[in-house]
């Protein structure tokens, strides 16, 4: 049985002539699923096409220590069994 892992993915996407950096925490079964989630998130929230998103494979990091996670919602999913989702600021 596979367990869900937490990944921190950093990269940049192109908006007009600017390159905008990003860093996102996602929960996925493997690295490919995490990348797919990043493409989905950036495409739906920022209307960025996949060919304008640049992610270096060395900037994909699996998080094993939950204290490294900065996003409170992702941290709650990673650590708590009896889940009460905190509000984002």
Segment 10-33, tens digit of pLDDT:
999 999 999 999 999 999 999 999
CATH class of 5-79: alpha beta
The dihedral formed by the CA atoms of 49, 37, 45 and 56, expressed in degrees to the nearest 10: -60
Q: How many residues does the chain have?
A: 89
Is residue 39 predicted with pLDDT exceeding 90?
yes
Is residue 85 predicted with pLDDT exceeding 80?
no
Burial of 55: CB neighbours in 10 Å, binned 0-12, 13-18, 19+: middle
Domain definitions of the chain by residue range: 5-79
Q: pTM higher than 0.75, yes or no? A: yes
């Amino acid at each position: 049985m596979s367990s869900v892992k937490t990944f921190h993915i950093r990269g940049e996407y192109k908006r007009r002539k600017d390159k905008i950096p990003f860093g996102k925490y996602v929960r996925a079964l493997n690295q490919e699923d995490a990348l797919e989630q990043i493409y989905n998130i950036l495409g739906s929230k920022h209307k960025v096409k996949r060919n304008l998103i640049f992610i270096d494979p060395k900037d994909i990091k699996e998080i094993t220590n939950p204290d490294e996670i900065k996003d409170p919602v992702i941290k709650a999913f990673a650590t708590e069994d009896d889940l009460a989702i905190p509000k984002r600021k």
